Amino acid sequence: MPVSYVQIVFSVPRELYVLARYCPRPFYDAVMRAAGQAVIDVGWSELHLQLGCQTLFHSWTQTMLEYLHVHCAVPGGGFSSDRSRWQSFASYGLSTKALRKRFGTLLCRALEEAARKGKFDGLPPTVRIEQLLVRVRTRRWKVYAKPPFGGPEKLLEYLARYMYRVAITNQRIESYENHQVTFRCRVSAGSRDKTLCTLDAQTFLDRFLMHVPPKGFVRARSYGFLGNRNRKQNIERAVQLIGGARTPPSREPFKPIRLCPTCAAKRGIRRTHFAPDPEVEPQFDLPLRPPPVEPIAA
């Protein structure tokens, strides 16, 4: 949207991480709903505006340790109560104190409701929801809210990288020798300096599998006027009210440049393989990796 954006990060208290080990699906759902609804509620209470936000669940650090948090991309404006005007707000317009309190309240209520419905019956007898909530209610919840570095394009590009990625990519793995995995990682959050981390193979697999989302879990969700139901109409109305409508560049329909024999037969194409014209720009900018070196049998 042709407005500034605000990046909000809601961090889950570590006392609740045990719920992710035994009952990840109901716990992750509760965290996502609490983060998105907190932005909408604070927008109404503090700014008297209907806001919208796009959220993405993230659960790992550079070394694949647990760090449960939700990223929110929030357009810097919203609809008035009667939806007759669009009102912008500065990045500091959303109070982090209000966001912390609302997120904590919503998440605790959601966990209590899920426990009453039996969604946490898989917990061991030593773990009780009531005791966990007593601990986290008295602590200070962590919420980050600032304008994104590099503008909204960089923010959305950053979040898009984690849509279908889990914990680590193949490019970061340097070697596997003597049952140990060595991979690259950043020294600290936000730093560009990188170092090498070596883990035992079993530890590496345990950390990786810890971040595989449960089946059917939706990691990216939208709330407010960016909700799925009326998103297109709301964005068109918002752009109209903003007055800075920007027509997106038209895109040509996708044309496959290379087909396997089976796919070509389904499409009724006789030429199964054909190369693109040298003057045509590639449709994808994907780095090519050399094939793995097969060991030579003795």
Q: What is the pLDDT of residue 245?
A: 43
Q: What is the pLDDT of residue 138?
A: 85
Distance of CA 101 to the CA centre of its chain: 22
d(Cα 152, Cα 162) in Å, to the nearest integer?
A: 16
Which of these, 148, 75, 102, lies nearest to 10 by C-alpha position?
102
Tell me how far CA of residue 54 lies from CA of 34, 41, 50, 189, 204, in angstroms. 13, 15, 14, 22, 31
Q: What is the mean pLDDT of each run of 10 residues along the chain (298 residues)?
A: 91 94 94 95 93 93 92 93 88 89 95 94 90 90 88 87 84 91 80 83 93 90 90 90 60 60 72 50 55 54
Which of these, 113, 109, 117, 118, lies nearest to 137 by C-alpha position?
109
Q: What is the pLDDT of residue 150?
A: 81
Domain boundaries along the sequence of the chain: 5-167+215-242, 168-210
Q: What is the pLDDT of residue 154?
A: 87
